């Protein structure tokens, strides 16, 4: 059994990890930390876990994280970089759901996240945890940087086109929407029910921290300079993410060949569903599951290709993807513990 610790178990990604790992056949939950909730049974905070998780939260100084095989950090940015070096030195593998190790350039990280990076020696070692694109590297990793939710949709949507060299990488556009849970489990005016319900708005239009993350990863797959315009929006729902991606074709390709390009790329990726050409994937078709669904469109009379991508921002966009990475790191079948079907209605 894999002994698992979770640092920061009271947020949405933390409880999502608990939901998935509590029924994982190869996992033993060993420690769940929360400084504020020290001593509180996990099931008291999250009744959905009654009978599944018998542990209590423990403060970080009391938790024996070094006895774990792997530790997930479901914490704000900056926490993992402070604790990861000691855990790695003790032979513990680390999966960080925050952004501490997503960017390879330290200056870029500090510019966008406004904090000093205190573990720069680990930046280069960290493996970017997008299994569909980095599967082999993840298998041998001891430190994984879990991707952001928006970047997951953008990379899996643009990748086959960039790999084939048939689009202009300098004019990529991503128009993305996320449910309110993407903002985290905290008291903030903008995410109060009365503020976010019956409302729709863009944010971060001048620049969003997921832009450099996505651009840096996409640059790995093309010799062109990547230019990405990314606009996120907040929609009045709890879970779900929808990305509408636009790319300009630079080579002639018919719709059947375009569809075949995506189907071939993801034929061995259990959690990427390439839907029929012209389909309209819905966020509810992925709710509670680790599935990402996408579909291709060609506006008539245009040299543009439109990719529609949906996922659950807390599962494939965060905790489910982290469990995928854990499975690979420990030699398990990638889909172990992640075969839940989406909830409907």
| pLDDT per residue as tens digits for the range 255-314 | 999 999 999 999 999 999 999 999 999 999 999 999 999 999 999 989 999 999 999 999
Peptide bond into 293 cis (omega under 30): no
Please state, in angstroms and rounded to a whole number, the distance separating the CA atoms of residues 178 and 314. 10
In a domain, 325, yes or no: no
Residue with tokens 């953008």: 154
**Domain match, 75 and 111 both:** yes
In a domain, 321, yes or no: no
325: annotated active-site residue: no
pLDDT greater than 90 at residue 236:
yes
Evaluate whether 75 touches 98 at the Cβ level (below 8 Å).
yes
The contacts of residue 219 (CB under 8 Å, 6+ apart) are 225, 226
Query: Would you state the structure tokens that stand for residue 292, as one six-digit string?
Result: 């990402």
Query: 153-206 pLDDT, tens per residue?
Result: 999 999 999 999 999 999 999 999 999 998 888 778 888 888 888 999 999 999
Q: What is the pLDDT of residue 185?
A: 83
**Domain match, 261 and 170 both:** yes
**Domain match, 84 and 196 both:** no
Distance of CA 36 to the CA centre of its chain: 26
Q: What is the CATH number of the domain that holds 28?
A: 3.40.50.720
* Residue 61 binned pLDDT confidence (cut-offs 50, 70, 90): confident
Burial readout 3-30 (b: 16 or more C-beta within 10 A, e: otherwise): bbbbbbbbbbbbbbbbbbbbebebbebb
In a domain, 21, yes or no: yes
Q: What is the pLDDT of residue 194?
A: 86
**Domain match, 170 and 121 both:** no
Across 5-9, 29-33, 42-46, 61-65, least confident range: 61-65
**Domain match, 299 and 222 both:** yes
Averaged pLDDT, 39-55: 95
Evaluate whether 10 touches 57 at the Cβ level (below 8 Å).
yes
Q: What is the CATH number of the domain that holds 253?
A: 3.30.360.10
Q: What is the pLDDT of residue 164?
A: 97
Q: How many CA atoms lie within 13 A of 267 on its CB side?
A: 6
Which of 68, 149, 176, 325 is the catalytic position?
149
Q: What is the pLDDT of residue 315?
A: 98
**Domain match, 292 and 155 both:** yes
Q: What is the pLDDT of residue 2?
A: 98
Domain total in the chain: 2
In a domain, 319, yes or no: no
In a domain, 318, yes or no: no
pLDDT greater than 90 at residue 73:
yes
Across 54-63, 162-171, 249-258, least confident range: 54-63
The contacts of residue 239 (CB under 8 Å, 6+ apart) are 179, 181, 283, 287, 288, 312, 313, 314
**Domain match, 225 and 268 both:** yes
SS3 category, 64: coil
Please state, in angstroms and rounded to a whole number, the distance separating the CA atoms of residues 345 and 338. 20
The DSSP secondary structure of 193-206, one letter per residue, reads: HHHHTT--EE--TT
Q: What is the pLDDT of residue 301?
A: 86
Please state, in angstroms and rounded to a whole number, the distance separating the CA atoms of residues 192 and 280. 30
Per-residue three-class SS string for 118-171: CCHHHCCCCEECCHHHHHHHHHCCCEEECCCHHHHHHHHHHHHHHHHCCECHHH
**Domain match, 161 and 74 both:** no
265 is in which domain, residue-wise?
Answer: 149-313
In a domain, 138, yes or no: no
* Residue 210 binned pLDDT confidence (cut-offs 50, 70, 90): very high
**Domain match, 116 and 153 both:** no
Evaluate whether 86 touches 79 at the Cβ level (below 8 Å).
no
SS3 category, 186: coil
Please state, in angstroms and rounded to a whole number, the distance separating the CA atoms of residues 242 and 150. 9
Assessment of whether the complete model's pTM goes beyond 0.75: yes
């Amino acid at each position: 059994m894999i002994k698992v610790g979770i640092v920061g178990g009271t947020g949405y990604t933390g409880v999502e990890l608990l939901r998935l790992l509590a029924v994982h056949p190869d996992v033993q939950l060993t420690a769940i930390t929360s400084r504020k909730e020290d001593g509180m049974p996990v099931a008291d905070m999250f009744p959905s876990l009654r009978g599944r998780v018998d542990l209590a939260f423990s403060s970080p100084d009391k938790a024996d994280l070094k006895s774990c095989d792997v530790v997930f950090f479901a914490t704000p940015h900056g926490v993992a970089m402070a604790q990861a070096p000691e855990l790695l030195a003790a032979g513990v593998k680390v999966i960080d759901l925050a952004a501490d190790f997503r960017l390879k350039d330290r200056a870029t990280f500090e510019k966008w996240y406004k904090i000093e990076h205190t573990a720069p020696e680990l930046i280069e070692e960290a493996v970017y945890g997008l299994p569909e694109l980095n599967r082999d590297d993840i298998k041998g990793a001891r430190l994984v940087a879990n991707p952001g939710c928006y970047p997951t949709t953008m990379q899996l949507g643009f990748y086959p086109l960039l790999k084939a060299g048939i689009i202009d990488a300098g004019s990529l556009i991503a128009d993305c929407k996320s449910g309110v849970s993407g903002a985290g489990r905290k008291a903030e005016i903008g995410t109060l029910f009365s503020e976010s319900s019956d409302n729709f708005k863009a944010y971060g239009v001048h620049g969003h921290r997921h832009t450099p993350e996505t651009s840096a990863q996409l640059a790995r797959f093309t010799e062109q300079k990547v230019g990405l315009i990314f606009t996120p929006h907040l929609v009045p729902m709890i879970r779900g993410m929808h990305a509408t991606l636009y790319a300009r074709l630079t080579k002639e390709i018919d719709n059947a060949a375009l569809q075949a390009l995506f189907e071939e790329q993801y034929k061995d990726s259990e959690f990427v569903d390439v839907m029929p050409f012209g389909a309209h994937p819905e966020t509810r078709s992925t709710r509670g599951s680790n599935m990402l669904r996408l579909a291709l469109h060609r506006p008539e009379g245009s040299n543009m290709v439109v990719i529609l991508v949906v996922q659950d921002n807390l599962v494939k966009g965060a905790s489910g993807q982290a469990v995928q990475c854990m499975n690979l790191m420990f030699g398990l079948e990638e889909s172990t513990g992640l075969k839940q079907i989406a909830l409907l209605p």
